[in-house]
Structure formats: structure tokens, C-alpha cells
């Protein structure tokens, strides 16, 4: 594939290295110094664009790719409050968007485990649940997009919780989500169910960014030549 990279920070560089090693071509790179030229990108130049930037710039970049007729994979988080608007825009323009809060194959399997455990715990009284996520100090959104997905899954699959909240709450129907920023931690997520008798804990720790890069490249290959809106569940058939 010929790929355009939008954003050339740590993830952009990881994707470039991984894609090149797999035989793909990085046709162009757009970053803060030349992002205005993204609007001039032509479908003949690239097969797919992969976008990893910031919450405030991702929606504009997605729309620019859709306008140009270029399928786009978006790994930026913190913008999903605009998801309905972006999905509608994509459909109206007959574009192609693949978005995910986390491109790690392992984390997407973890999502399924989380939903199953939440359902199993629905009939077990005496347990309180909480979510903890830790990321590097450069991550802007809190909680992480992945933690938001985990929290929404848990609330949606367990009748004891009405909503999730950031940090503490006095309401037992609230699911607390604790967000920490520490050093250069790639990404740790823990879900704990605790009673007076025991603790059940499931966790996922990203050792590096390679798993995210592999998932994003697989997503790009999946949507090349397509239209529509896709997520990891479509790629992994789960």
C-alpha cells in the first residue's frame, strides 16, 4: 500500500517503521509544519491515510481526507463526542473511515473479556468495581479513550451501574474511573471487582507502541478501496 501519515509523533514514527518493514510505502507525511497541504492530497497518490494527531485536529483531518476521496484510519482519541457528526459527514460524502480508541489486537480481545466479566458479575452482590488507567505524561485526554470504552462496556453490561465518573463518587451506582499520568508509560488498564472476601482483577499492559502500529496498518489494508465506516470489531470479526 501507499500510505499517507497524518501526524508524525511517536505513533507516526512507529507506524512508518513498521509499515516500511512490511513492504508498504510511506508516500507522504503531514505534520504541524505542513498540515495545510493535506487538502491538496490526491487519491492517485495514496491508498489510505493514517491519522494520529490530537483531539482538536483529528475531526478536521478526517473531513479533509473524506473530501479528497481518501480512506482514512483514525487513531486519535478524545474527539468521539463529535462522532455522530463525523459519521454523518462520511456517509453523506460516501467516504471511508476506520476509527478506534485502541488498535492493539490484545486490547480488543480484552474489551470482549471485560463485557463478559461485567455480565457475570451482575448476579454477584457485594462487589464494587473500579477502573484504573495509566499513560505517559504527554497524553492530553483524561481518561483515555480506551478507559472510556471499558467504562461504557461495564455500565452497559451490568445493571448495578448507571454511569461512570472520573475519580471518586459517593453514589454506589456510579462506576469510578481513575486516570494517572506517569513518566513514559505506554498504556496500562485495570478493572477491579472487590468485595470483603476477595478481589477479581483483569488488566492489559502495552509494552510498547508496536501493537498499535500493527493494528493500524491492518486496518488500513482492510479499508483500502472501500467506502463506509468501520471499527476493530469488523477487522477482527468479533
* Residue that the C-alpha cell 459527514 belongs to: 89
pLDDT in tens, 25-40: 999 999 999 999 999 9
pLDDT in tens, 159-206: 999 999 999 888 889 999 999 999 999 999 999 999 999 999 999 999
pLDDT in tens, 92-142: 999 999 999 999 999 999 999 999 999 999 988 899 999 999 999 999 889
For residues 150-156, average pLDDT: 97
Pairing of the two strands 199-205 and 188-194: antiparallel
For residues 86-90, average pLDDT: 98
Query: What's 23's DSSP letter?
Result: T
Segments in the chain forming alpha helices (H)? 10-21, 58-68, 83-92, 105-120, 145-156, 210-223, 232-236
**Do residues 205 and 185 touch, judged by C-beta distance below 8 A?**
no
**Do residues 199 and 192 touch, judged by C-beta distance below 8 A?**
yes
138-175 burial, b if ≥16 CB within 10 A, otherwise e? ebebbbbbbbbbbbebbbebbebbeebeeeeeeeeeeb
Residues of the chain with CATH 3.30.360.10: 105-205
Residues of the chain with CATH 3.40.50.720: 2-103+210-236
Query: What's 133's DSSP letter?
Result: E
pLDDT tier for residue 43 given thresholds of 50, 70 and 90 = very high
Gyration radius (Cα) of the chain, Å: 19
Which residues pair with residue 77 across a beta bridge? none
- Cite the active site residues: 135, 139
| pLDDT greater than 90 at residue 50 | yes
- 168 phi and psi angles, rounded to 5 deg: -75, 155
DSSP SS3 for 108:
helix
CATH of 2-103+210-236, one of 3.40.50.2300, 3.20.20.100, 3.40.50.720, 3.40.50.10210: 3.40.50.720
Residue 15 CA to residue 121 CA, distance in Å, equals 38
pLDDT in tens, 51-80: 999 999 999 999 999 999 999 999 999 899
CATH topology of domain 105-205: Dihydrodipicolinate Reductase; domain 2 (3.30.360)
Amino acid at each position: 500500500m501507499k500510505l499517507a501519515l497524518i501526524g508524525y509523533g511517536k505513533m507516526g514514527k512507529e507506524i512508518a517503521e513498521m509499515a516500511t518493514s512490511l513492504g508498504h510505502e510511506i508516500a507522504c507525511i503531514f505534520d504541524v509544519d505542513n498540515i495545510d497541504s493535506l487538502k491538496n492530497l490526491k487519491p492517485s497518490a495514496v491508498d489510505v491515510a493514517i491519522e494520529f494527531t490530537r483531539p482538536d485536529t483529528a475531526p478536521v483531518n478526517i473531513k479533509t481526507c473524506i473530501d479528497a476521496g481518501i480512506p482514512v484510519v483514525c487513531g486519535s482519541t478524545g474527539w468521539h463526542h463529535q462522532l455522530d457528526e463525523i459519521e454523518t459527514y462520511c456517509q453523506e460524502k460516501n467516504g471511508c473511515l476506520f476509527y478506534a480508541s485502541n488498535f492493539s489486537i490484545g486490547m480488543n480481545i480484552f474489551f470482549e473479556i471485560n463485557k463478559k466479566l461485567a455480565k457475570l458479575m451482575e448476579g454477584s452482590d457485594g462487589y464494587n468495581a473500579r477502573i484504573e488507567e495509566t499513560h505517559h505524561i504527554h497524553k492530553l485526554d483524561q481518561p483515555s479513550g480506551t478507559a472510556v470504552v471499558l467504562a461504557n462496556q461495564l455500565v452497559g453490561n451490568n445493571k448495578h451501574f448507571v454511569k461512570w465518573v472520573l475519580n471518586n463518587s459517593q453514589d454506589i451506582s456510579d462506576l469510578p474511573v481513575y486516570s494517572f499520568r506517569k513518566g513514559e508509560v505506554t498504556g496500562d488498564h485495570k478493572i477491579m471487582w472487590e468485595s470483603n472476601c476477595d478481589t477479581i482483577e483483569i488488566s492489559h499492559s502495552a509494552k510498547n507502541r508496536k501493537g498499535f502500529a500493527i493494528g493500524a496498518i491492518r486496518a488500513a489494508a482492510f479499508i483500502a478501496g472501500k467506502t463506509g465506516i468501520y471499527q476493530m470489531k469488523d477487522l477482527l470479526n468479533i
